[in-house]
Structure 1
């Protein structure tokens, strides 16, 4: 992350974020997002890591709520829990001395985005990446 911090100093207009999840690292989302304590713990840990690394925002790349992907565990209530997870991150942002952004990676295929609650997600994030 030293290189990112150097680039931040050189290119002050650019924002650098912490992306969590992805095709191979989304296996724990369904489990911890299913409980309020899991969501709060994840949110506070992610925000603290973002601060410790000197980053500007968090990006959640859960592949994929409800539908799974790459043999990733999933459950019917994942989408509702995803929205609650995003709200928990927003709540954890409330005490920050700066306006931190939140982004998500959205599925582009209809078999996966059919399960998405886009109105709720878009009400909580600054960016949706396809």
Structure 2
């Protein structure tokens, strides 16, 4: 069982990579995981590029700043938590990540409400100036 790498696919089927067939080629577990990580990054890039282009075309700079800041914060927390787990030989604390995500969602909701109130006030001000 040690010679196989399983990757669960969302449809329920499994991809199986036989490590014993790749070892004569000089491919180790680390190479496989680096390749899978690279493919994941490319897939995320392909999926996110149209969304980011749309946000840039709509000039939603506040949403882009919120998304990029949130992702940077999540990356930093994951990195520091992983480094602490490696350095102090302890288990990863996923609860910190969950609390951070909850905080980011709450902050996003507050920003949404503020933006909604500003847009409504601006619309009401324009209608009042037209009626006078």
* Greater relative contact order structure (CA < 8 Å, 6+ sep): 1
Larger Rg: 2
Q: TM-score range by the shorter chain?
A: under 0.3
Greater share of residues in strand? 1
**TM-score normalized with structure 2 length:** 0.27
**TM-score normalized with structure 1 length:** 0.28
Greater share of residues in helix? 2
